[in-house]
Amino acid sequence: MSTQTSPAEKGLNPGLMCQESYACSGTDEAIFECDECCSLQCLRCEEELHRQERLRNHERIRLKPGHVPYCDLCKGLSGHLPGVRQRAIVRCQTCKINLCLECQKRTHSGGNKRRHPVTVYNVSNLQGSLEAEEMDEETKRKKMTEKVVSFLLVDENEEVQVTNEEDFIRKLDCKPDQHLKVVSIFGNTGDGKSHTLNHTFFYGREVFKTSPTQESCTVGVWAAYDPVHKVAVIDTEGLLGATVNLSQRTRLLLKVLAISDLVIYRTHADRLHNDLFKFLGDASEAYLKHFTKELKATTARCGLDVPLSTLGPAVIIFHETVHTQLLGSDHPSEVPEKLIQDRFRKLGRFPEAFSSIHYKGTRTYNPPTDFSGLRRALEQLLENNTTRSPRHPGVIFKALKALSDRFSGEIPDDQMAHSSFFPDEYFTCSSLCLSCGVGCKNSMNHGKEGVPHEAKSRCRYSHQYDNRVYTCKACYERGEEVSVVPKTSASTDSPWMGLAKYAWSGYVIECPNCGVVYRSRQYWFGNQDPVDTVVRTEIVHVWPGTDGFLKDNNNAAQRLLDGMNFMAQSVSELSLGPTKAVTSWLTDQIAPAYWRPNSQILSCNKCATSFKDNDTKHHCRACGEGFCDSCSSKTRPVPERGWGPAPVRVCDNCYEARNVQLAITEAQVDDEGGTLIARKVGEAVQNTLGAVVTAIDIPLGLVKDAARPAYWVPDHEILHCHNCRKEFSIKLSKHHCRACGQGFCDECSHDRRAVPSRGWDHPVRVCFNCNKKPGDL
């Protein structure tokens, strides 16, 4: 860069001395000005300094006659475009520094420095070139924003309109490795948010749509890229607008706020309303409560090299007035930011999530609005990377996508009490416990990550759902919590040997660690209740869509029927089919105690129609009497008789009296429960096994209703396969998955696995979905 200086070049600027003193003593005349070193340099200092590798590529210029140097104290940001430094107007001979007008007033207007001798630079010749330089710079910036267009980022239904990171970068029209910050704007509808962004970032171009009509010009969230400041600018829908899905749209604003580095709250009110402080205060509370955890999880889950800050964005309150003074004008001793904090405290709101809150006001006596003050404040905050650093556009998209996936779903407006802008219902799971009615405390869509429902309070017992869970008492005393399930047989017994033991000794409770800890009929008399001896009882919540709880050994009858059906198929070719007499006898064998025996039912209990030999008799599951089909075609749950929450056949009279609770003692319930049904099936099969093998195809459909486990979906409710959605017909049989209880076709449930949690210790039929689950079912 430097060459030998001719004698003619010396003496061109005798008042400008070398400011480096690197190779000289500071007495040599300055020949060069290095913009990156920010100093005037003599020939020797320029050569020695820029001989170093790290300084070799600095841009230097030779000084011309009448050269005016830059100010040594300021960066020239106040009142000027960013990157355009202030030129000095004087040089202090005592301090040996060049000063612009503002710095001279600030540093040399009082004290002894007022008497310092100064040399005045001739800036009249430079003024025109400086103005031209600034105009060229502004023209260049305007040209950079000429092709900027906005695009819909998220619609009013909270659906992200960008498919992936590449699509997001393409629509922004920026480089993938470009580091960006995000600036968003909020405010009431009609306050000119889009207009503010257009004039602050895009020199008045209508990048974001504006409209003079009464309808809102911005629906959803729109985004554009400002190549000058290197920021993604986001325009949002106005508050207090007449819109549908108000709750979802309000929640959408907080998602935008969470990914922003700088938030502008635009207000056109002559006085700052309470809504502004309530919105920011509630947004801060919701951000800390619901979003910081999710942003941390997104950083870990996506492996982001730039961590998402858990401290919220900086906020600028841009206040435009016409008839009233700006905030703080009548209190010169107090800064506006302190007055804003006082307003927050008076309203009981604490904006702790925001990294800082700034006030910028402008009073518009005559249009147009002056946005230069807002622009300068924005530029200063964007240069501050202490709290929020720039990141790649892909990181911004991942954060928005993660928040949209987590906090999504409909919010019924009629159920919302809008005491807050962002109530917890906007972000927490909407599921309610069926037993006690308490809500889940986890965030929305937590099930996608395998996180179960949780509640803050304990549940209460409900007979309808039988929400008791047994845990092994011995394991609990050793510091472990192991759930146990009453079932037909031990896991070490074969299916038929287990049923034989069950018929003799009753159901068992087996712990994976301790083995069989209880048999219901181990002794001839004096058998104690398991709750008093070997198990602990815990009441758990019942969440919609989850499996029911295993009640006693309620799969014993179905296990017998499965085996009987297999044997019956083997001998079906030797038999002419079941007779009505055998059907009635078998039904009586497995019937609950309160059912009237078939042999005593000669006519319908309601219409008194006499039954013929081939007529089918139906028992009402509520009263136990016999009816014809037309008088017992209705269904309803009969949990008080031990039939669980699923609808079962009842007579017309019991259906009409469905809101009247039957007076049944606890002893009757125990006697009529699934244990007695399963026991009678076992005894019937044990006593008549020979007859089954030699004669009959068992009428499986007649006893399925009694044998069905509580968690199984009733046959009459299964119209199509739960997986492939094929409709069931005579040719397409229904099969129950032993794990989830749903109905499937054979093709979707041909796998076999043990389901110990349901009492099936040996491989049984499971559906395609349950078979894919890892671990024990």
The per-residue pLDDT for range 329-344, each reduced to its tens digit, is 877 777 888 889 989 8
610 Cβ partners below 8 Å, 6+ apart?
602, 603
pTM summary value: 0.49
User: What pLDDT, on the 0 to 100 scale, is given for residue 423?
Assistant: 54
Whether 208 and 197 have beta carbons less than 8 Å apart is answered as yes
Q: Where are the alpha helices (DSSP H) in 329-481?
A: 336-346, 372-382, 393-406, 473-477
Q: Which long-range contacts (CB under 8 A, 24 or more apart) does 341-344 make?
A: 343/272, 343/277, 344/277, 344/280, 344/281
**Tokens of residue 775, six digits:** 């671990």
Using DSSP, state whether 39 is helix, strand or coil. Answer: strand
**Tokens of residue 746, six digits:** 């054979």
Distance of CA 83 to the CA centre of its chain: 41
The per-residue pLDDT for range 743-760, each reduced to its tens digit, is 898 888 888 888 877 777
Q: Taking residues 719-735, what's their average pLDDT?
A: 85
User: What pLDDT, on the 0 to 100 scale, is given for residue 687?
Assistant: 47
Domains of the chain: 32-75+82-120 (4.10.830), 151-193+222-411 (3.40.50.300), 468-556 (no CATH), 593-657 (3.30.40.10), 708-772 (3.30.40.10)
Of 23-32, 42-51, 579-588, the range with the lowest mean pLDDT is 579-588
User: What pLDDT, on the 0 to 100 scale, is given for residue 577?
Assistant: 40
Distance CA 64, CA 69 (A): 11
User: What pLDDT, on the 0 to 100 scale, is given for residue 499?
Assistant: 55
User: What pLDDT, on the 0 to 100 scale, is given for residue 493?
Assistant: 62
The per-residue pLDDT for range 269-294, each reduced to its tens digit, is 888 888 888 888 888 888 887 777 76
Task: Indicate if the pLDDT at residue 633 is higher than 70.
Answer: yes
Of 2-11, 196-205, 380-389, 506-515, the range with the lowest mean pLDDT is 2-11
Q: Taking residues 551-572, what's their average pLDDT?
A: 45
Task: Indicate if the pLDDT at residue 583 is higher than 80.
Answer: no
Confidence of residue 772 (pLDDT cuts 50, 70, 90): confident
Which has more confidence, 379 or 79?
A: 379
Which has more confidence, 577 or 169?
A: 169
User: What pLDDT, on the 0 to 100 scale, is given for residue 134?
Assistant: 54
Whether 361 and 270 have beta carbons less than 8 Å apart is answered as no
Of 39-43, 463-467, 629-633, 678-682, the range with the lowest mean pLDDT is 678-682
Distance CA 664, CA 661 (A): 9
User: What pLDDT, on the 0 to 100 scale, is given for residue 750?
Assistant: 86
Task: Indicate if the pLDDT at residue 677 is higher than 80.
Answer: no
Q: Where are the alpha helices (DSSP H) in 270-392?
A: 274-286, 292-302, 336-346, 372-382
Q: Specify the DSSP class assigned to residue 487.
A: E
The per-residue pLDDT for range 503-523, each reduced to its tens digit, is 555 677 888 888 888 877 655
The per-residue pLDDT for range 208-240, each reduced to its tens digit, is 988 777 677 678 889 999 998 899 999 988 776
Which has more confidence, 359 or 674?
A: 359
User: What pLDDT, on the 0 to 100 scale, is given for residue 151?
Assistant: 92
User: What pLDDT, on the 0 to 100 scale, is given for residue 757?
Assistant: 76
Using DSSP, state whether 326 is helix, strand or coil. Answer: coil
The per-residue pLDDT for range 480-489, each reduced to its tens digit, is 888 887 776 6
User: What pLDDT, on the 0 to 100 scale, is given for residue 319?
Assistant: 92
Q: Taking residues 636-664, what's their average pLDDT?
A: 76
Which has more confidence, 650 or 71?
A: 650
**Exposure b/e, 702-719, CB count within 10 A at least 16 = b:** ebbbbbbbbbbbbeeebe
User: What pLDDT, on the 0 to 100 scale, is given for residue 587?
Assistant: 63
Task: Indicate if the pLDDT at residue 318 is higher than 90.
Answer: yes
Distance between first and last Cα of the chain: 78
Which has more confidence, 16 or 149?
A: 149
When the pLDDT of each residue in the chain is averaged and rounded to a whole number, the result is 75
The per-residue pLDDT for range 409-445, each reduced to its tens digit, is 665 544 444 544 445 555 667 778 888 878 887 776 6
User: What pLDDT, on the 0 to 100 scale, is given for residue 124?
Assistant: 58
User: What pLDDT, on the 0 to 100 scale, is given for residue 264?
Assistant: 93
Distance of CA 150 to the CA centre of its chain: 27
**Tokens of residue 215, six digits:** 């309808």
